């Protein structure tokens, strides 16, 4: 919340407003002569959003009579946590849940100083808009924060080792996003490896080479953002003192109840691997607490959504085409473009499409992938459908309000059976 999801989304929203005012308001009959950026105020708003939400959580802690202790915790013995804060405290407990999240994964040869070479944390607090920015990594974090600074005036180049932006997403979605980013003015250098960085007083010179071999090259940028992923944060937690095992990548293995190899010690979220997403971690924490209290809980990991808050947004749930092909599952595809959706057209926000995958024999929805306006919200309809084992036909027969973006979901579901109405 403090340095991840919330501040980045606040800046994404503010920078989107700025770009819309700068480039699109005129077409709506709104004159914006004298428009200018007040970065200090924008960053201040971001900070206020974070403070308000953290204060809200603290209030909920008190309301629900939960002891809330600020400090660094270390497991010093089974059933014992030592907290170092304003004063040292030793807490005795029957159960311990490790939910320490993750930290920025380092890139060998690239030293982050949070000034010229920054992590996602530093990229949230740049004192001025850099004239040029290089982003190492075309994943979610790199594209979201790269989008923020591009909108505010920076010339952004994204360097990615793999073949596409947003690797791991449905290939058609990844390719569409790549085209969109280029259209927006973002430069993409795919299949490229960063081999080093040389800092001067005012900028950084990156050395690069083609992934598959070829001539080396350089790129100079005022700011470099390292966004190659995250790793579990388990340093100095005392895991070794109580014999908690970690795998070769530092993740904590757990059983189906989220218990580690040590009885009474549990782990959830980024530290156990899988998708490093706040909503996944939140659900795991809730289920783990239920299990500890003697209840039952369950998470269907196939229904965990992946969302990218660029513009347009990207959202995904279930299997993509590549996974279905690899598993040998026969499927049908239904697609519908937002350019044929009346609400998207009236909003002048009609880029992208909805793609629904359904079992060829049973018509059960197997996955959904969206690039377009409000994709992160629209995808939830499909999550509910999949949770209830609905078919594409079931989704298609639901009456969707008109004019609404959700009609694109209905049309894509109709498209599974070759019956889309408006294309």
Would you list the DSSP string of 152-186?
TT-EEEEE-SSSSSSTTS-HHHHHHHHHHHHHHT-
Helix (H) or strand (E) holding 76, with range, is strand 72-77
315 and 286 share a domain? Answer: no
- Whether 59 is in a domain gets the answer yes
Residues 35 and 93 in one domain: no
Residue 131 inside a domain? The answer is yes
pLDDT of the residue at 1: 61
Same domain, yes or no: 284 and 135: no
Tell me whether residue 253 is in a domain. yes
Q: Is residue 110 part of a domain?
A: no
Tokens 């749930």, located at residue: 317
Domain count, the chain: 4
Query: What's 94's domain CATH number?
Result: 3.50.50.60
Distance, in Å, from the CA atom of 152 to the CA atom of 134, rounded to the nearest integer, reads: 15
364 and 266 belong to one structural domain: no
| Pair (25, 82) in one structural domain | no
What is the predicted pLDDT for the residue at 251? Answer: 97
Q: Are residue 124 and residue 222 in the same domain, yes or no?
A: yes
* Count of CB atoms situated within 10 Å of the CB of 40: 10
* Residue 41, domain member (yes or no): yes
Calculate the alpha carbon distances from 33 to 21, 23, 24, 29, 86 in Å. Answer: 10, 12, 13, 12, 52
* Same-domain pairing of 281 and 334: no
Domain-embedded: residue 421: no
Q: Is the Cβ–Cβ distance between 229 and 137 less than 8 Å?
A: yes
In this structure, what CATH number is given to the domain that contains residue 315? 3.30.390.30
Pair (341, 376) in one structural domain: yes
402 is catalytic: yes
Range of the domain at 43: 1-68
For residues 361 and 322, membership in a common domain is answered with yes
Buried b (16+ CB within 10 A) or exposed e, 219-241: bebbbbbbbbebbbbbeebbbee
- pLDDT per residue, tens digit, the chain (423 aa), is 666 789 999 999 999 999 999 999 999 999 989 999 999 999 999 999 999 999 999 999 999 999 889 999 999 998 999 999 888 999 999 999 999 999 999 999 899 999 999 999 999 999 999 999 999 999 999 999 999 999 999 999 999 999 999 999 999 999 999 999 999 999 999 999 999 999 999 999 999 999 999 999 999 999 999 999 999 999 999 999 999 999 999 999 999 999 999 999 999 999 999 999 999 999 999 999 999 999 998 999 999 999 999 999 999 999 999 999 999 999 999 999 999 999 999 999 999 999 999 999 999 999 999 999 999 999 999 999 999 999 999 999 999 999 999 999 999 999 999 999 999
Residues 6+ apart with CB under 8 A from 20: none
How many angstroms separate the first and last alpha carbons of the chain? 42
Same-domain pairing of 173 and 245: no
pLDDT at 109: 87
**40 with 129, same domain?**
no
Peptide bond into 312 cis (omega under 30): yes
């Amino acid at each position: 919340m403090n340095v991840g999801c919330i501040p980045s989304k606040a800046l994404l929203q503010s920078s989107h407003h700025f770009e819309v005012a700068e480039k699109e308001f005129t077409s709506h009959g709104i004159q914006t002569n004298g428009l200018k950026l007040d970065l200090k105020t924008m960053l201040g708003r971001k900070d206020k959003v974070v403070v308000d939400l953290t204060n809200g959580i603290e209030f909920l802690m008190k309301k629900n009579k939960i002891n809330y202790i600020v400090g660094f915790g270390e497991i010093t013995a089974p059933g014992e946590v030592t907290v170092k804060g304003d004063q040292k405290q030793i807490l005795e407990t029957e159960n311990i849940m490790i939910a320490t999240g993750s930290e920025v994964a380092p890139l060998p040869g690239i030293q982050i100083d949070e000034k010229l070479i920054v992590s996602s944390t530093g990229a949230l607090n740049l004192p001025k808009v850099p004239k040029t920015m290089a982003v190492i990594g075309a994943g979610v974090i790199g594209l979201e924060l790269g989008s923020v600074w591009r909108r505010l005036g920076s010339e952004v180049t994204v360097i990615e080792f793999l073949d596409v932006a947003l690797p791991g997403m449905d290939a058609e979605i990844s390719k569409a996003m790549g085209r969109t980013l280029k259209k927006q003015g973002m430069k993409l250098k795919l299949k490229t490896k960063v081999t080093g960085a040389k800092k001067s007083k005012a900028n950084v010179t990156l050395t690069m080479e083609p992934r598959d071999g070829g001539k080396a090259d350089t790129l100079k940028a005022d700011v470099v953002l390292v966004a190659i992923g995250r790793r579990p944060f388990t340093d100095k937690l005392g895991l070794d003192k109580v014999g908690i095992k970690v795998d070769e990548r530092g993740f904590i293995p757990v059983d189906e109840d989220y218990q580690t190899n040590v009885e009474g010690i549990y782990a959830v979220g980024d530290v156990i691997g899988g998708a490093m997403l706040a909503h996944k971690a939140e659900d795991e924490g809730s289920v783990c607490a239920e299990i500890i209290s003697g209840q039952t809980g369950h998470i269907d990991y196939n229904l965990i959504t992946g969302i990218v808050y660029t513009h347009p947004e990207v959202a995904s749930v279930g299997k993509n085409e590549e996974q279905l092909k690899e598993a040998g599952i026969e499927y049908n595809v239904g697609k519908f473009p937002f350019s044929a959706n009346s609400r998207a057209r009236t909003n002048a926000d009609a880029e992208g499409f909805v793609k629904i995958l359904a079992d060829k024999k049973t018509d059960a929805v197997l996955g959904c992938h969206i690039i377009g306006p409000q994709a992160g919200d629209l995808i939830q309809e499909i999550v509910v459908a999949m949770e209830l084992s609905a078919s594409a036909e079931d989704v298609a027969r639901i009456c969707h309000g008109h004019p609404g973006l959700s009609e694109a979901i209905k049309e894509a579901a109709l498209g599974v059976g070759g019956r889309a109405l408006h294309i």
